[in-house]
Structure 1
């Protein structure tokens, strides 16, 4: 493993003079934590906007929990001597690597969480013609390799290859790399398929923009003989599962705390399905969809969707057992007593979170030849089904609430207006000397990147919508679009709102946020 360890640590083989940790992977973790992009996550939405109550996770606390769970998984895997041969063949599993990747994985999330991601992607592709659009995972890699300045080189954080590879949940670009692209596979990896109804737009999830292709190649080089180009590293797989666990457990915990996750509707949904599973299984898909708001019907829709997408693992007996376990531990235990801030209530939440996390981690295994839709580290069958049911509860009873949709529509309008206002400012030649310095720097950086791509591989600049850039003017237009998207994506929720107020003349208060300007 010695040679591989050296390769995994490149682009650097040790720590710089400014690093406190002796291990390069621990130094990576420290650099991520010291980054202003990491600090801003405290003001970025996880599911609903940060309220200041301290009861809801934000992207910062979510990242800390993902790192914690990822490290626990890695330590359990490497402590099992039976798994050592498999881990060695696949490139290793270092707890420091997965912890650093867990801390860094959400650095690119824009204001207002996944809603912001969707809005910026739509604007990036349709308004600016960017070949990649916007994707939070790819933005995270762009930050640690390009737009952050905390590393010794002044460009990116200069993280090791292993940590950068561990950040790549989806190690491909939207459209072009690797070739052949995994979205064309008969059974594409999770996230590689095109969104339903959007043929030709490329993968729905991806971790790399075309501007970071060199970083993709360099980070993945140590694994070239061990993994398919589209397959996660073991450490990326660990981080990905940890993210799923944190999402499935801790977000439910949040919404129980603030009274959003109510006992009656969840109990009705799970109880009705358990009591009428055979009857519901006889209904056709159209009738199910028409009655999706009735208790039990949405859960049956989930069961069928799992059969279509994940036939490699889905099992009806395991699904029934998962529904029964979630019903017993979530509905009949945690949700029976409303959260009131008491010691008893806090202890109940703690037992629920700790118990589920330990159960899911205990079910891990390592496989050399996983199905395309899974990584080399797998949840046990029972635990996999339980995660699907927990995530279903979160989506059905939190994400689909009309009151959340109401706020998100307003946030979408805010981000759209902010992007347009910054675009107009950039285009105003009378204001060119007064633009935010960071925005000017981002334009220069993107112009340099796109010019190089146009000279070496112009096909990467042709998106699913729009035409290739025409000459220097076309390159500059692309660069302006990329810069505006990078700039807005680096704001907190409140910074985005306050900046639009200032640009719209709705506030007379002088701007004093140096990180923004």
Structure 2
């Protein structure tokens, strides 16, 4: 396990700053992410529902703020540095492109010849290269130049791209900084505790809040699940295939208990009124608290009261809590992401991104932002130039991607 000094090291050494505030290196990390352009752009990037379609619904920005809050509270209970887990929560989605996971899938296909596209690997690239903050002595960008502990905490998938594994955390040409941030960690692909805390906070926020948004938006109703056994079986099959190692029949028993839980009754009774909205919010608080407290207690039961940080412990998610969380994620998947009419919209989004990448490849570097045009000129070959175009498109918000497409592909 690394020492505290190694944890606080930065890839590019920086002179000490004396601002009178006495901030820790990790407080500086948090501030750098919070004030970054990439973080601001999350306000107009899709979470599950299309960004900007409803003032109530979450975007990548509000989701990231919620993940950071949950991670900070959970990490503090375990003994992690709260600013490290907070920074990881704020930063974990910086690499996501326009149109959410649908955009991620589209760019992965388009980027095949330069190594693919993955939102988590793109996040590392944003933090260590694309965001403007610090330059190395050799003239290369070091991005936000966060500490080793913060970058490691953002690494949900600390391994490179491999056949058969959709998720990974680093592209081939970002290996130097990745190898540096992983230096001193235990052998293999083990994640530090802060990354595990952030990942669970992400799951909690995603599962609870996306169901809340779906209920408020009228896409999700628990009534079919309460009334139809076949529908419950179909949901459990979806969850087993997408989110859980549990068998559908085992998930079915957990689902029956969840649907019978009086604390969740407001989910089925929501009618849009002020009182029902308050009850819905109370239910999301109960679920979030349950998922956090259960995992903290299980982790402390296995590893002791702590404090725990870095590689001193692994997060323990009890089987029942993991199944409940997966079922909620499955509800959002089945009734929001796969709702009737969604298919043509997803196909059109992928078409827009494909046409936009083609147009930029044809018209670069003139059509690129001033940030990316020099990178195109310096790129040594076609795969490297394609990566610059992918970086450009991934940086766009949903509205910007549509506007760029209109300007470059369908002018007039």
User: Larger radius of gyration, structure 1 or 2?
Assistant: 1
- Alignment-derived partner of residue 408 in structure 1: 346
Task: Quickly say closer, same or farther: Cα 1:424–1:301, change in 2 above 3 A.
Answer: same
Q: Does 1:103 align with 2:106?
A: no
Asked whether the equivalents of residues 48 and 404 of structure 1 are also in contact (C-alpha less than 8 Å), the reply is: no
Select the residue among 310, 317, 327 that pairs with 2:245: 310
The alignment's TM-score, normalised by the length of structure 1, stands at 0.71
Shift in Å, 1:412: 1.1
- Alignment-derived partner of residue 324 in structure 1: 257
- Alignment-derived partner of residue 497 in structure 1: 402
The alignment's C-alpha RMSD in Å is 2.7
CA distance in 2, matches of 1:72, 1:40: 25
Select the residue among 358, 370, 374 that pairs with 1:441: 374
- Alignment-derived partner of residue 252 in structure 1: 211
The superposition leaves residues 215-252 of structure 1 with CA deviations (integer Å, 9 ceiling, x where unpaired) of: 111111132xxx33211111100000000000100001
Q: 1:503-514 alignment to 2 at 5 Å? A: 503-507=408-412
- Alignment-derived partner of residue 41 in structure 2: 40
- Alignment-derived partner of residue 269 in structure 2: 336
CA distance in 2, matches of 1:152, 1:19: 25
CA distance in 2, matches of 1:361, 1:67: 13
Asked whether the equivalents of residues 360 and 367 of structure 2 are also in contact (C-alpha less than 8 Å), the reply is: no
How many corresponding residue pairs? 393
Asked whether the equivalents of residues 215 and 270 of structure 2 are also in contact (C-alpha less than 8 Å), the reply is: no
CA distance in 1, matches of 2:216, 2:232: 25
Q: 1:163-174 alignment to 2 at 5 Å? A: 163-174=150-161
The superposition leaves residues 313-356 of structure 1 with CA deviations (integer Å, 9 ceiling, x where unpaired) of: x897786245412453586332223223x2x1231122111111
Q: Which runs of 5+ in 1 are unaligned?
A: 79-92, 176-200, 273-293, 369-374, 427-431, 448-474, 508-517
Shift in Å, 1:392: 1.6
SS state at 2:261 partner: helix
Shift in Å, 1:264: 2.7
CA distance in 1, matches of 2:216, 2:22: 38
The superposition leaves residues 406-441 of structure 1 with CA deviations (integer Å, 9 ceiling, x where unpaired) of: 321111111111111111112xxxxx5675422312
- Alignment-derived partner of residue 133 in structure 1: 116
Task: Quickly say closer, same or farther: Cα 1:434–1:347, change in 2 above 3 A.
Answer: closer
Asked whether the equivalents of residues 6 and 13 of structure 1 are also in contact (C-alpha less than 8 Å), the reply is: no
Select the residue among 255, 263, 280 that pairs with 2:222: 263
CA distance in 1, matches of 2:96, 2:150: 18
Task: Quickly say closer, same or farther: Cα 1:355–1:152, change in 2 above 3 A.
Answer: farther
Shift in Å, 1:76: 1.5
The superposition leaves residues 246-269 of structure 1 with CA deviations (integer Å, 9 ceiling, x where unpaired) of: 010000111111111123323235
SS state at 2:166 partner: coil
CA distance in 2, matches of 1:137, 1:324: 34
Q: Which runs of 5+ in 2 are unaligned?
A: 304-312
- Alignment-derived partner of residue 165 in structure 2: 203
Task: Quickly say closer, same or farther: Cα 1:25–1:298, change in 2 above 3 A.
Answer: same
- Alignment-derived partner of residue 178 in structure 2: 216
